[in-house]
Chain A
């Protein structure tokens, strides 16, 4: 076995910018560089396909990515799914397929976005003169060529900036890279709320594209999707738009996508959402009731991963409490249930993939 023992590795000119396979290692582009969770779209705890229409932003399929259709005409309907169609090196993508097309009103907008927790992005140093640039890279494929907008938004200071990318060839995976300046004016609070948001627009009415957002500034509706020039995905039945390999990293250039182990990615997702699968045969779910006193049963459910905030307790499709809803105290890392019946959850009629879920999404 050979050993290399040196005090420093420098480039041929004596500088300190030596690259390895084209990348100069630094504190921000090594392990943990990707600020996006589930960027390879591998995790889909809620299910692999769902229909969305006019309404609030909702989490439906791949974890951490929330979908939205805001359409006052209530025309547009899309199917969002976890697809196995992906570029080389990836196994999944997020797929938008318009199932009922329509013409968005001037106030309408559609797309998919990811909210990033504020305390995760403190190293961006926003609100200071040291604010860092970030680079967003992704693979995208659509049946409709043209210019699409992508925006980044920070909620604490209500500020936004954006850019565009072009899909050059229909139905072909293309890699895109966009770099955003650091925001020296708007501070991101060091807490568990929303800190940073990446927004991929699939459609936008004229009210949402009217104001230049190519540098950071106070949010206004016209900046939401500035530059978005292609609503063909929304206006065409069965049109598709897919994305995967989403990476947001500090710096001015895109490095190779950080492929984290599946288990690591799942745990990162479970900080925000944790689903407990239905057990085969409709047996009792993984809740172990402890006897306390006559006709009273209580248990302590310890989550796999501590949650961002105390989560909402959701029942899965078809799942019902066998008697009255138990008393539930929900904490960030565990919950206490108190029931008056040993028949706790009835999953015999489950129609979904999970018995219950803990939702702490942003």
Chain B
């Protein structure tokens, strides 16, 4: 299971959904969206199985 996370624009303080990482809920690890990262590869496989990550905290 995974959970989306937020990011912040350091200039405007605007908080938006991150396009750079995801949280793995089993151990709270932060996984970057780098295709060479094996944890990200596992996440992509999980998505391909039809799963959906939880929404980021509001």
Residues of A within 8 A of B (CB): 191-193, 292-293, 296, 298, 308-315, 320-321, 324-325, 327-331, 338, 359-362
Contacts and interface: CB of A to CB of B under 8 A. Distances in A.
A243 B28 CA distance: 34
Contact of A338 (B8, B28, B31, B33): B8
Give the top 6 A-B pairs by smallest Cβ distance, nearest first.
A309-B36, A310-B34, A310-B32, A330-B32, A313-B30, A312-B39
Contacts of A315: 27-29
Contacts of A329: 7, 20-21, 32
A328 B30 contact: yes
A312 B18 contact: no
A328 B57 contact: no
A328 B37 contact: no
Contacts of B7: 327, 329
Nearest to A324: B57
Given A327-B6, A328-B30, 18 more contacts: A191-B36, A310-B37, A312-B24, A312-B31, A312-B37, A312-B40, A314-B27, A315-B28, A325-B28, A327-B5, A329-B20, A329-B21, A330-B21, A330-B30, A330-B32, A330-B34, A331-B32, A362-B38
A84 B7 CA distance: 46
A192 B23 contact: no
Contact of A325 (B23, B33, B36, B40): B23
A361 B30 contact: no
B4 to A, nearest CB: 11
A5 B8 CA distance: 64
Most interface-central of B8, B32, B40 (chain A CB within 10 A) = B32
24 contacts: A191-B36, A192-B36, A292-B10, A298-B10, A310-B32, A310-B33, A310-B34, A312-B30, A312-B37, A312-B39, A313-B30, A314-B27, A314-B29, A315-B27, A315-B29, A321-B28, A327-B5, A327-B7, A328-B21, A330-B30, A331-B32, A359-B29, A359-B39, A361-B38
